[in-house]
Each structure stands twice: as C-alpha cells, then as structure tokens.
Amino acid sequence: MSNRSVWSWHQGDRRWLLSLLVLGVAVMVVIGLGPLARSQAAVGRTELIWYGQSAFKVTTPAGNVLIFDPWLKNPANPQGQAVLDGLDRADLLLVTHGHGDHVGDAVAIAQKTKAKLIASYDLGNAMVAHLGYPKEQFGFEVTGNFSGKISLLNGDVEVAFVPAVHSSAVATDGNPQPFFAGNPGGFWVKIRNGPTFYHTGDTDLFGDMNLISQFGPVDYMLACIGGKFTMGPDRAAMAVKLVNPKVVVPMHFGLFSLPGTPEQFAAALQAQSVSAPMKLMQVGVPERI
Ligand SMILES: [Zn+2]
C-alpha cells in the first residue's frame, strides 16, 4: 500500500468515524430531548377557570375536576347559574373556611356531582351538620389539618393544608348565631403532570408563607388582594415575595366594595421588585396552563 493509498484510507476512515460521531450525537440528542418533549407536552393540559372572588375550577390532565371555594353564583359571575346547571363533573371541592363567599354553592354542587369535600375536620363537620353537605361525601380520607398532606384520586392530586390568618364560621339562613368551623386555611395542591397551586384562602400576610414552597415549588399562587378582610395589594405583594411562585393570579377583589384592585397590586409587585408576573384572569374564560 502506497503512502497515498494509506492517506486516503485514513481519510475514508475519518469520514466514517465522523459520520458515526454525528449519528451518536443525534441519537443522544433524541434520547435526551425525549423526556423534555414529553414534559412539555404535559404542560398546557391543565385547565384553569376563575369564576370570581376565590372560586377556581381546575381540570387535571387526567380529567379530574377540582373546584376551590365554589361560590359560582357570585355577583362577579353573571353566568353563575348557567355554570352550575352545566357542571356535569366535579370530583373534589376544596373549601378554605366557612364564610359564605367561600362555601358558596358547595352543597348544590355536591348533590349534583357527588363531589367529595376537602376541608379541615372541623369545617367539614360543620358543613355536614349545619349546611347539609352530604355526609357520605366527607369521609376520613378527604380531611386533614395544618401540616397534613393527603393524596387523592389515585395520586392525581396531592393536597396540603396550609394555615391562614383569618376567621371561620358557618352561618345558616335566619340564624344570627354562626357555628364554629375550625381555623381558616389555604391549600397547596400538586397536580400530576401539571402545575402546583397555592390558594391562599382569605388571609393576612404571615412570615411562614416562606415555608410553603418548601412543600414543593409553587407554580400558580392564587392570592387574595382586596383588602379590608384580607391582604390588600401591598401586603399581598410581600406575600408573593415570600412564596416565590412562577405566576401570581389575584383574587378576592371587586365585590363588597373591597378597596384593593389588580392595578394597585401590579404596582405593588413592581415597587417591591417581585419577579413573578401577575396574571389577571377574566371571569369564566378557561386558560390552559
Ligand atoms: Zn372571603
């Protein structure tokens, strides 16, 4: 073999090795991107709808339906009755405390859909005893108390009970004396193949909010901002700083002449250099997240 043929042989060999290398890199890229592509496909399959005040409906990628503080027929939601009439599925109702603007239409939804009630032991029992929530839809497996975490719907949803600084009682028509309903709370909720939520319930700002994301990073913080009975825009912005979510959605404003507005909240977030963007949802308009 001449020097020339050795050289060209080596050249061919190199080309072959180069092709192999390119192929190898391509295979690695495909293998490496596979899970990423799958996780990106999973994102965007959770649906979130705000119905005004603190009511949110979440439909998980698996199709399960959760409703937070289900006051569907509130004055901010003129379609409330139609939404209630058209609601053909709800698996879990998560109620933060006993006040009427949070318990809302829980009993009507429960009767219609057989939804289980997720609430503290005291609140759930008060709703069963005094409001007529179906007793068989509030069992041991769906209740807990602060620091507790429960897994529901075959692991599709994890719920942690989070404290709130507020009050809680249930009232019945014609009875001026409200009934004890435990301590008020919020919820940390992780959706399988979907986002993690922190619904604050009604609360003041409290320093331990900075522990909440240690349950797991919070993607969507649903934060009360209206003031008077809860955090107003400035304190809510500070709360967002403590929780450090990816996105904050303002709630509990615009009714009962509550003074805080989303505009003030946006300004407070900016003034306090909070990096999380505010997402102002439109009542009744579904968002894929
Ligand atoms: Zn409220």
Q: Domains of the chain: which residue ranges? A: 45-280
Tell me the C-alpha distance between 169 and 252, whole Å.
18
Q: How far is the CA of 252 from the centre of ligand 1 (A)?
A: 7
Q: What is the DSSP letter of 171?
A: -
Position 67 pLDDT exceeds 90: yes
- Per residue in 187-217, pLDDT tens? 999 999 999 999 999 999 999 999 999 878 9
Tell me the C-alpha distance between 77 and 85, whole Å.
14
Q: Which pTM was predicted?
A: 0.85
The CATH code of the domain at 45-280 is: 3.60.15.10
Tell me the C-alpha distance between 96 and 117, whole Å.
11
Run of H or E including 102: helix 100-103
Q: How far is the CA of 189 from the centre of ligand 1 (A)?
A: 20
Q: How far is the CA of 99 from the centre of ligand 1 (A)?
A: 7
Tell me the C-alpha distance between 251 and 70, whole Å.
13
Q: How far is the CA of 18 from the centre of ligand 1 (A)?
A: 66
| CA 89 remoteness from chain centre | 18
What is residue 175's predicted lDDT score, i.e. its pLDDT? 80
Residue 256's CB: how many other CB atoms inside 10 A? 12
- Per residue in 111-155, pLDDT tens? 999 999 999 999 999 999 999 999 999 999 999 999 999 999 999
> Does residue 258 contact residue 227 with C-beta atoms inside 8 Å?
yes
Q: How far is the CA of 227 from the centre of ligand 1 (A)?
A: 10
Q: How far is the CA of 178 from the centre of ligand 1 (A)?
A: 15
What is residue 267's predicted lDDT score, i.e. its pLDDT? 98
The tokens 């825009």 sit on which residue? 233
What is residue 66's predicted lDDT score, i.e. its pLDDT? 98
Q: How far is the CA of 180 from the centre of ligand 1 (A)?
A: 16
